[in-house]
C-alpha cells in the first residue's frame, strides 16, 4: 500500500507509540466533501487528536467532489469485497491526507454509488439507494479496519450514514479477536436527520429480521439508521452539553427521547471547536483589515466601512451593523427574524447584512426587504467563504435566534472576531454565550446576549437591549467584545475532551460484548 511512513503502522524505530489508535468514519470531511458542520468537525478533530499524540485514520466515501478536490489522492493496495443483498461488490481504497497534518484519509472508491454530483440527493429528492450506499460504506469501513496493521482502540462513527457500523460490530464481528478490544463511539451531530428508510430495505443491511423491532432498528414501521447507531454503540455523544440534555426531552428528542434517556449514562456532550488557523482575524486573508485583541477597535472600524461599501450600504461608523449568515430555514429562527427586520428597517437606524440560501419563502421575503430598504438591508442569496469572514469581522452584532442548534459555529467565530453574538438559549448557543446582565457584567463573564422564549417579542426585546448598550454604553460594549475575544474555543480544548471520553470508554466498555435487547 502506498502511503507515507508512520501513517498507518507503528514503526519499530518510533520513540513512543501514540496513546490511542483511532479510526474515524464519516460521510463528510472538509475540504473533500461538505454539506454542513459535520465535515468541519471530521476534518479538524483528527488533526487536533494527532497533535495530542494519537494516531488517527479517517475513512470516507470517494465522492466525486473528493476526487476533484485539490488534495493529492493516490491508490493503495487495499481491495474490498462487500456483500450487498445477493451480490458481492468490489471496491478499491484510495489514500490522501488531511491538510497541514499527517492524518491519513482513506477513501472508499465505488463509482456506481459515489460518483454523483451531490452527496445524498438530486434536485428533487434523496437518492433512492441511499440505504444501499451507506450500508456498503459501513461494511467497507470494517473491512478496512480488518486489513490495517495493528489494532484499533476506538472506532468513532458520525451520524446516520455510519449508524450500521456499531450494529455490525456487535452482531457480526464480536467473536473476532481483533474486534473484541475495540470500543465504538457514535456522535450525533443533528438528531433531526435520522436515515429513515422503508422496512423493505432491511435485507439490504444483511442483518437478520429479528433486529427489526422497536427496541433496536425499527422506528414506526421504518428502518432507522441513526437509532441503530444509538442502540448498538458503546458510547454516545453530541456536539454540546446542552444539546445532549435537550434531545432527551419530547420537545427536541425527534421521537428518540425515550431511547436516549435509556442510554443517558453513556451519553455526553462535547462542544465543537473552531479551526483557529482558518478563523483568526490577525491572519485571515479574506479580511479587508487584519486585527487582534490589541487593536480590534481600529481593525473592526476599517472592516465595517469596507463591508458597507462592498454590500452597497451607506458608510455609517456609529450605526449598529447586524450580521446574519446561514441557511434560511425555520430551524434557524427566520420565522421570528423577518418581522423584526421589516419593522426595524422602517423605524430604526440599523443596518442588516444577510448571507445565505434556503427556503424560497424566506428568500423572496428578504429580496423584497432588500429592494424596499436598500439603505438598511443588504441581502446576498448565496454562500461565499470570503463574504462570511468579512461579515463576521465587519459586523457589530451577530444574530443566531435558532429554534434548536446542536452546537453552532458562527457564534464562536463571532466571539473570536470581536462581534457580539445575540442568540436563543438552546444547544451549543446556551453553552457558549453568556447573557449580559448586571451580575455577569460585574463578574466579567458576559460575552453576548441571549433569550429563551422562541418568539418574535423575546427576540426584539433582546435586540433592543443590545442596541441600547451599543449606542449608549460603549465601555460595556467594549467589555463584551474583549471578554469574547479572550476565550478559548479551539479544537485543542475539544480534542482533550474527546481524549478523556475515549479513555473512559475503553476502561468501561471494552469488554462489554452484550448485544442490546
Residues 23 and 25: their CA atoms lie apart, in Å, by: 7
* DSSP state at residue 337: H
H or E segment to which residue 51 belongs: helix 37-51
Q: Say what the pLDDT of residue 124 is.
A: 86
**What does each C-alpha distance from 64 to 8, 80, 111, 484 come to in angstroms?**
25, 19, 8, 39
Q: Where are the beta strands (DSSP E) in 350-396?
A: 350-355, 377-380
At residue 517 the predicted structure's pLDDT band, cuts being 50, 70 and 90, is low
Q: Please, what is the Cα angle at 389 between 384 and 395, to 5 degrees? A: 115
On the question of pLDDT at 3 being above 60, the answer is no
H or E segment to which residue 108 belongs: strand 104-109
The percent of residues above 70 in pLDDT, for the chain, comes to 95
Average pLDDT over every residue of 276-305 = 96
Residues 146 and 143: their CA atoms lie apart, in Å, by: 5
Residue 397: left (phi > 0), alpha (psi -120 to 50), or beta?
beta
* Radius of gyration over every alpha carbon of the chain, rounded to an integer in angstroms: 24
* DSSP state at residue 515: P
Segment 137-178, tens digit of pLDDT = 999 999 999 999 888 999 999 999 999 999 999 999 887 877
Q: What's the chain's average pLDDT?
A: 93
Average pLDDT over every residue of 197-220 = 97
Q: Say what the pLDDT of residue 179 is.
A: 84
Whose CA is closest to 207, among 513, 515, 514? 515
* DSSP state at residue 313: P
Cell of 99: 491538510
93 by DSSP, 3-state: which? strand
Average pLDDT over every residue of 442-467 = 98
Residues 167 and 136: their CA atoms lie apart, in Å, by: 14
Average pLDDT over every residue of 107-119 = 97
Cβ atoms < 10 Å from Cβ of 514: 7
Q: Give pTM, 2 decimals.
A: 0.91
Residue 398: left (phi > 0), alpha (psi -120 to 50), or beta?
beta
* DSSP state at residue 315: P
Are the C-beta atoms of 55 and 18 separated by less than 8 Å?
A: yes
Segment 70-100, tens digit of pLDDT = 899 999 999 999 999 999 999 999 999 999 8
Amino acid at each position: 500500500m502506498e502511503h507515507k511512513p508512520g501513517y498507518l503502522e507503528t514503526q519499530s524505530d518510533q520513540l513512543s507509540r501514540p496513546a490511542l489508535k483511532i479510526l474515524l468514519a464519516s460521510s463528510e470531511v472538509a475540504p473533500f466533501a461538505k454539506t454542513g458542520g459535520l465535515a468541519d468537525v471530521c476534518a479538524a478533530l483528527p488533526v487536533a487528536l494527532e497533535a495530542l499524540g494519537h494516531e488517527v485514520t479517517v475513512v470516507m466515501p470517494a465522492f466525486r467532489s473528493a476526487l476533484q478536490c485539490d488534495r493529492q489522492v493516490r491508490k493503495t493496495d487495499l481491495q474490498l469485497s462487500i456483500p450487498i443483498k445477493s451480490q458481492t461488490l468490489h471496491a478499491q481504497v484510495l489514500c490522501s491526507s488531511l491538510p497541514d497534518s499527517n492524518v491519513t484519509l482513506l477513501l472508499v472508491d465505488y463509482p456506481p454509488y459515489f460518483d454523483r454530483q451531490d452527496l445524498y440527493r438530486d434536485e428533487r429528492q434523496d437518492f433512492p439507494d441511499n440505504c444501499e450506499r451507506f450500508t456498503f460504506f459501513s461494511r467497507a469501513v470494517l473491512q478496512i479496519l480488518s486489513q490495517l496493521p495493528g489494532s484499533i482502540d476506538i472506532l468513532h462513527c458520525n451520524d446516520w450514514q455510519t449508524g450500521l457500523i456499531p450494529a455490525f460490530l456487535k452482531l457480526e464481528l464480536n467473536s473476532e479477536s481483533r474486534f473484541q478490544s475495540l470500543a465504538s463511539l457514535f456522535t450525533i451531530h443533528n438528531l433531526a436527520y435520522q436515515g429513515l428508510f422503508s422496512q423493505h430495505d432491511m435485507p439490504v443491511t444483511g442483518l437478520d429480521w429479528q433486529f427489526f423491532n422497536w427496541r433496536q432498528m425499527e422506528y414506526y414501521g421504518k428502518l432507522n439508521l441513526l437509532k441503530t447507531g444509538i442502540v448498538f454503540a458503546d458510547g454516545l455523544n453530541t456536539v454540546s452539553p446542552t444539546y445532549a440534555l435537550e434531545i432527551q426531552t419530547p420537545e427536541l428528542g425527534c421521537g428518540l427521547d425515550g431511547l436516549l434517556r435509556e442510554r443517558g449514562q453513556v451519553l455526553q456532550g462535547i462542544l465543537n471547536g473552531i479551526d483557529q488557523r482558518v478563523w483568526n482575524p490577525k491572519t485571515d486573508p479574506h479580511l479587508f483589515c487584519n486585527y487582534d485583541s490589541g487593536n480590534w477597535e481600529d481593525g473592526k472600524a476599517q472592516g465595517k466601512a469596507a463591508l458597507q461599501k462592498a454590500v452597497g450600504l451607506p458608510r455609517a461608523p456609529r450605526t449598529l451593523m447586524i450580521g446574519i449568515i446561514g441557511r434560511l430555514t425555520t430551524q434557524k429562527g427566520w420565522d421570528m427574524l423577518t418581522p423584526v427586520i421589516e419593522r426595524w428597517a422602517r423605524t430604526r437606524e440599523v443596518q442588516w447584512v444577510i448571507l445565505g440560501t434556503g427556503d424560497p419563502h424566506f428568500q423572496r421575503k428578504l429580496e423584497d426587504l432588500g429592494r424596499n430598504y436598500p439603505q438598511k438591508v443588504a441581502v446576498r442569496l448565496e454562500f461565499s467563504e470570503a463574504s462570511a469572514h468579512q461579515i463576521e469581522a465587519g459586523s457589530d452584532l451577530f444574530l443566531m435566534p435558532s429554534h434548536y442548534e446542536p452546537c453552532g459555529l458562527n457564534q464562536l467565530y463571532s466571539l473570536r472576531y470581536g462581534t457580539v453574538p445575540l442568540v436563543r438559549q438552546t444547544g451549543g448557543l446556551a453553552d457558549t454565550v453568556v447573557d449580559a446582565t448586571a451580575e455577569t457584567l460585574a463578574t466579567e463573564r458576559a460575552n453576548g446576549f441571549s433569550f429563551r422564549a422562541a418568539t418574535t417579542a423575546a427576540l426584539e426585546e433582546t435586540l433592543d437591549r443590545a442596541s441600547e448598550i451599543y449606542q449608549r454604553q460603549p465601555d460595556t460594549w467594549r467589555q463584551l467584545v474583549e471578554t469574547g475575544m479572550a476565550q478559548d474555543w479551539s479544537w485543542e480544548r475539544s480534542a482533550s475532551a474527546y481524549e478523556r471520553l475515549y479513555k473512559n470508554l475503553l476502561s468501561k466498555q471494552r469488554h462489554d460484548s452484550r448485544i442490546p435487547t
